[in-house]
Amino acid sequence: MATTTVTQTLPAPTLRLRASSPADAKESQTETQDQETYRYEALLPEFNREEHYPPLVPFDHVDPGFRALSHTSPASFLDGASNIFDITPNLGTEVTGVNLATLSNDERDQLALKVAQRGLMVFRDQRDFIDRGGEFYREWGRHFGRLHIHPTSGHPANLPEIHLVYRDANSTFNFEIAESITSTGWHSDVSYELQPPGLTTFFLLSQPTTGGDTLFTSQVSTLKKLSPQFIAFLKTLKAVHSGVEQANYSRSGKRGGVVRREPVENIHPVVRKHPVTGEEALYVNKQFTRRIVGLKKEESDAILNFLYDHMAKSGDLQARLHWSPNTVAIWDNRITAHSAIIDYGDSKQRRHGARITPQAERPLPALDGLEL
């Protein structure tokens, strides 16, 4: 039986990031905004160093996409769309003319199946969805799984299940950029959890006038590019995914100083199988995967670095999402990886995003009988 997300009354925050002045943080929304207020003030991030949660416990997850498989018309939620097109052959579909906020439970099941099949769905003109606020976000996310509370990121006051990304002229967090020549950091969200996320919903509340796109890549397609012999070998492997570095980064004061739960490490298959579609996907990422179990360091490093390089260079398997106002993106973390593009830093404009992150099943090995 599924467990309920831990909730509690939060003490007054010890630190809150506030947006820069309108002169330094030009809004890119199409409407004119009051210069004294920010439309999404209630969704600005705060950090509470007294906020702590116990370790996550396993729960039974049934993917809602299963229910849609038996539907006579499993994509009928798109019937009223004014425009639908595939972003790339391998990944992503964009939709205009469907209001996500009004989908029935049956239609949400259909959405889960479609995201599992395409990896990424992008819905334009979703002002109704975005403006319904925090309680609606939680109700929406719980349809797809147990809501994850991020161990280190900021969240809106009294909405710990809503993960935020934020950057303006004066403040930033969730942009762990070391001394590197690139800001690109491919990852699958919090893959270190025993039951990492499945269907994830993300949208921007404010964005720069240019830049700040998001890259996605199909981990199904990156796997298929490899030779059958190498894929067979990868299926026999499992890897450690770790949240320790992320927690240490936060404790250092570079990310709010908050660690709500002690970091965990978990072992996942290098190649996982999607529970609904049966598709096999590569499941490693440079941000959280640390080593392959049972291999010597040099062997593990060689294989992982090869796979990271393969992911990064496979432009023919990637989709780039340009954020127009009121866009909602929904992706399946089990079969995709993504990276924010931080190319707007000199503009001093605000980029403020919210993520609803339901957890899914423990990753299923593509190789039957692989013990984790």
d(CA 290, CA 309): 15
Residue 130 covered by a domain: yes
Q: 112 near 68, Cβ under 8 Å?
A: yes
Residue 150 covered by a domain: yes
Residue 321 parent element (H or E)? strand 318-321
Distance spanning both ends of the chain, measured CA to CA: 22
Residue 47 covered by a domain: no
Q: 186 near 287, Cβ under 8 Å?
A: yes
Long-range contacts, 31-39 (Cβ 8 Å, 24+) = 38/206, 39/205
Average pLDDT of 182-206? Answer: 96
Average pLDDT of 83-88? Answer: 98
**Average pLDDT over all residues of the chain:** 89
Domain of residue 162 covers 64-363
Average pLDDT of 302-308? Answer: 98
Q: How far is CA 310 from the centre of its chain?
A: 21
Q: 222 near 320, Cβ under 8 Å?
A: no
Residue 371 covered by a domain: no
Q: 98 near 78, Cβ under 8 Å?
A: yes
pLDDT attached to residue 348:
82
pLDDT attached to residue 3:
36
Residue 18 covered by a domain: no
Residue 135 parent element (H or E)? helix 134-142
Average pLDDT of 342-354? Answer: 87
Percent of the chain with pLDDT over 90: 80
Strand pairing of 351-356 and 238-242?
Answer: unpaired
d(CA 112, CA 55): 28
Residue 208 covered by a domain: yes
Lowest-pLDDT choice from 170-179, 214-223, 244-253, 335-344: 170-179
pLDDT attached to residue 254:
67
Which stretches of 115-173 are assigned E, i.e. beta strand?
A: 120-123, 162-167, 172-173
pTM assigned to the model: 0.89
pLDDT attached to residue 26:
37
Core vs surface per residue 161-175: b (16+ CB within 10 A) or e: bbbbbbbbbebbbbb
Asked whether residue 34 carries a pLDDT value surpassing 70, the answer given is: no
Asked whether residue 27 carries a pLDDT value surpassing 50, the answer given is: no
Average pLDDT of 172-196? Answer: 80
| Residue 244: partners with Cβ closer than 8 Å, 6 or more residues away | 263, 265
Average pLDDT of 8-30? Answer: 35
Residue 33 covered by a domain: no
Q: Report residue 95's pLDDT band, with 50, 70 and 90 as the boundaries.
A: very high
Q: Give how many domains the chain has, as a whole number.
A: 1
Domain containing residue 244: CATH number: 3.60.130.10
pLDDT attached to residue 182:
82
Residue 40 covered by a domain: no
